[in-house]
Structure 1
């Protein structure tokens, strides 16, 4: 029997009450952000993979300004693997760390062509073979390009939301935070979940806030939320 390349890791145990609270938060998130979606512009799995690699230490807005020219010149892995490195560097310079990112784009494209017939693989194990594609990138691609929920994307917004809303006790380790979220929320919601948390984190519950936002989600569930603490100090 072939090994399941999308097998889930062992998850921590959560109580019924914890899961019920998580479902309430999920329902409220859908209420306020009814159209969760990936903010990276893409037309196919390859473009999403490349855009996600470029998004490391860079905003989605900046990536979306950069990728049109990149994909117009090198729309396929077959073309991108043969691109002059200097030209790739120039095309992605504005995203930061452009030398490493250009190498990742070129090497990833080469692997796609040589090992996967030019197709983006649809499992975690194979995606992790690509340069510049850690688990976060793989989760983005699997969830948004293929509708496969293998994990939860944990970026700075998701990490902050998870702590402020008491969904994890882990402050830094993204793998542990991801497992806590996977254990709390239904698998079919995992891809949406990160988008929902990111929307809230970019909106009313930013990293730095000067005044307590009057948002029901923060007031009702943000037990460790900075805005909650500010409200208590008033």
Structure 2
């Protein structure tokens, strides 16, 4: 599980000077990119309420995809007010470039004055900022896109009986040879499904990573499942998302 304490970096070290050492900041990814399962956000929020630590979330794969309005994992799990800092990217659901940090005015001022990555980076070009703004508006207004993604998730579950919990599907096949052979077969069948290998994932846990989107149709899924069944055995593959989310 990708959960760890962040204790280095100018903004964090400055924060620690004026706060009890017991209030270490906790930073985690909300939706894991290689496994497709959610972090135990509800449990982490309960711990935050009890101990008062800083909670920072990497919402790269959930922004504009999760939540009623596309607000991400925090909105999905109804804990927006418990997240101190939300970091996201504009290169995935937004289809743009760059990223963002959503935080309070106090944290914004601190990051602007002490965040080296921000201070020494070139500002975002106006066309990119305009495109990102347009993407946010589209996500808010055209809610059918988000509904379509989650409908595809439910349909894939029904067709394969694999209990996926997000649009990121991680099918563990084992060796690199099996993963590459399956990926090549799928490409010939009209599907670009990447074989994920070490060092991205541990040895003997090579996998096929599928990412569903709003443009995929039910017919696309039927054809994909047929192609998958020709190169892998659904009953033999490994799968990480046996539960709704990871455990602490």
The two structures have a TM-score, normalised by structure 1, of 0.27
Higher relative contact order (CA 8 A, sep 6+): 1
The two structures have a TM-score, normalised by structure 2, of 0.26
